[in-house]
Homo-oligomer: A and B are copies of this chain.
Amino acid sequence: MSSSSAAQSAKPPMRDALVAAAFRLFLERGYEQTTVDDIVALAGVGRRSFFRYFPSKEDVVFPDHERCLADMTAFLSVSEPGHEPVQRVCDAARLVLRMYAENPTFSVQRYRLTKQVPGLRAYELSVVWRYERALADYLRARFAGRRDGILRADVIAAAVVAAHNNALRSWLRSDGEGDAGTAVDHALGYVQSAFGQDESPRVAAPQAEDVVVVVARRDAPLWRVVQEVESALGRA
Which A residues fall within an 8 A CB radius of B? 121-123, 125-126, 129, 148, 150-152, 154-155, 157-159, 161-163, 165-167, 182, 185-187, 189-191, 193-196, 201-203, 205-223, 225-227, 229-230, 233-236
Given that A158-B161, A215-B212 are known contacts, is A190 also in contact with B233, CB under 8 Å in the complex?
Answer: no
Q: In the complex, which residues of chain B have a beta carbon less than 8 angstroms from the beta carbon of A126?
A: 121-122, 125
Chain A binding surface, main DSSP class: helix
Query: How far apart sit A152 and B155, CA to CA, in the bound complex (Å)?
Result: 14
Copies in the complex: 2
Q: Is the CB of B230 within 8 A of A189?
A: yes
Query: How far apart sit A163 and B136, CA to CA, in the bound complex (Å)?
Result: 12
Which has the most chain B C-beta neighbours within 10 Å: A161, A203, A213, A214? A214
A155-B163, A194-B221, A225-B229 known, 19 other contacts, Cβ within 8 Å: A122-B126, A148-B186, A148-B190, A155-B159, A186-B236, A190-B226, A193-B202, A193-B203, A193-B226, A194-B194, A194-B195, A196-B202, A196-B222, A210-B219, A211-B216, A212-B215, A222-B229, A222-B230, A222-B233
Nearest B-chain residue to A162, judged by Cβ:
B158
Query: How far apart sit A127 and B145, CA to CA, in the bound complex (Å)?
Result: 32
